[in-house]
Amino acid sequence: MEETTGTDLFTVPIGPQHPALKEPSHFRITVDGEIVTGAVVRLGYAHRGIEKAAEARNWVRNLYLFERVCGICSHIHATAYALGVERLAGVEAPPRAQAIRVLVAELERIHSHLLWLGVAAHEAGFDTLFMYSWRDREAIMDVLEGLTGNRVNYSANLLGGVKCDVDDAQRDAILKALDVLEGRSHHYLDVVTTDALFLQRTRGIGRMTRNQAEVMGAVGPTARASGVPRDVRVDAPYAAYARYPVMRVVETAGDLEARFVVRLRELFESYRLIRYLLDNLPAGEIRGRMPRRVPQGETVSRVEAPRGELFYFLKSNGTDTPERVKVRTPTIYNLTSVVKLVVGHQLADVPMILAGIDPCFSCNDRTVQLEETNGRTRRWTWDQLHRYSLEVEHGRSL
């Protein structure tokens, strides 16, 4: 992706190490004085070849592989994949399982939005807000850990259902955390819309109109902050979103401030949805039977990740291994808009505009590099790693 205008007077390389975020990507920003005239992005620093790897693993093992595409929105990847595989196999997960998928997805959205709020505040030099929002985010991490046993790769999904149920103690813990967070979120919304210094970094910066956002193919909160009513949870309800409808949060200003407001307002929608869901959780099984082999066919699975629409295309050749799994993550589309948006801005605004789309480069790149540790080359093949994991789990050598 590239955007260049005018005469390039000076080129500022940003990244690949820590380009405003603690994830690798490389930007070449051309500037005329302090004003940005062009931007080029280079990706791939976290490319792990996951789509290729999926073609050598069976449907079940791939669930765990795709959960590891992203460390922030891991659950939504597994959900998109599981829903697609279930559709190909003609299996429908029980209603309670679908509701729990939505529950974990919304908890994940809260954790992701609070994480982003902290990162974006940090980019603006507002480290107090960063520390507060990350402190509060711990409440959700604890809830997710209590529910699934894990803080990051929750592994809540199985093919045909979910792994974890919700009991009364967990329900109370979730509600208690939500009460605390709701109060805090009101405060944050107040801060980002009234703090004069903060507004100087966000209001009118990185503005993208609705038409521009549509043409650029922006997705998720980035698109909704520009007035594009695009939310897969509403447009094409999946899992249990038809049963637990969610409201689309749309702002029209299209600037950085609007991107803050959209994500914060989405938090309230997630709190409301989770409370309603916990009060109306269907009884019954949480997992169904799933065949090992999946009939031939193709399907498309679209879900709303915290950063926007996540797209999976799955093709089965009738065996226990997929023929092809294609993943299109939200960040790659929002990045297109960044390289256009930064032109004409101050160089100092670039990190904020970049952070404004809540980019996730691991999602984007999806790759596996074999590991090297401490100068001593130690490379494992996948089979070796798999055997090792079985040994650890069963405490025996295979």
Q: How far is the CB of 257 from other proteins (least distance, A)?
A: 24
- Going by C-alpha positions, the residue among 89, 3, 157 that lies closest to residue 297 is 89
Closer of 1 and 152 to other proteins (Cβ): 1
Q: Is 146 in the site for other proteins (CB under 8 A)?
A: no
Q: Which of 23, 106, 251, 309 binds other proteins (CB under 8 A)?
A: 309
Count Cβ atoms below 10 Å from residue 18 Cβ, excluding itself. 11
- Angstrom CA distances, 212 to 4, 129, 216, 337, stand at 17, 31, 6, 9
Q: Is 315 in the site for other proteins (CB under 8 A)?
A: yes
Q: Which of 214, 269, 278, 287 binds other proteins (CB under 8 A)?
A: 214
Q: How far is the CB of 207 from other proteins (least distance, A)?
A: 17
Q: How far is the CB of 1 from other proteins (least distance, A)?
A: 6
- Going by C-alpha positions, the residue among 249, 246, 207 that lies closest to residue 228 is 249
Q: How far is the CB of 138 from other proteins (least distance, A)?
A: 34
Q: Which of 58, 193, 299, 346 binds other proteins (CB under 8 A)?
A: 299
* Preceding omega of 351 cis (within 30 degrees of 0): no
- Going by C-alpha positions, the residue among 284, 302, 303, 365 that lies closest to residue 41 is 365
Residue-by-residue DSSP string for 110-145: HHHHHHHHHHHHHHTT-HHHHHHHHHHHHHHHHHHH
Residue pair 63/158 in contact (Cβ under 8 Å)? The answer is: yes
Q: How far is the CB of 358 from other proteins (least distance, A)?
A: 17
3-class secondary-structure state, position 201: helix
Per the structure block, which two tokens stand in for 71? 């460390």
Site string for other proteins, 364-383 (x = CB under 8 A): -x-x--x------xxxxx--
Q: Which of 127, 142, 145, 391 binds other proteins (CB under 8 A)?
A: 391
Q: Is 186 in the site for other proteins (CB under 8 A)?
A: no
Mention every residue, 6+ apart, whose C-beta is less than 8 A from residue 143: 107, 170, 173, 174, 177
| Footprint of other proteins (CB under 8 A) | 1-2, 40, 42-44, 47, 49, 51-52, 55, 87, 214-217, 229-230, 235-236, 297-300, 302, 309, 311, 313, 315, 324, 326, 328, 332-333, 335-336, 340, 365, 367, 370, 377-381, 384-385, 387-388, 391, 397
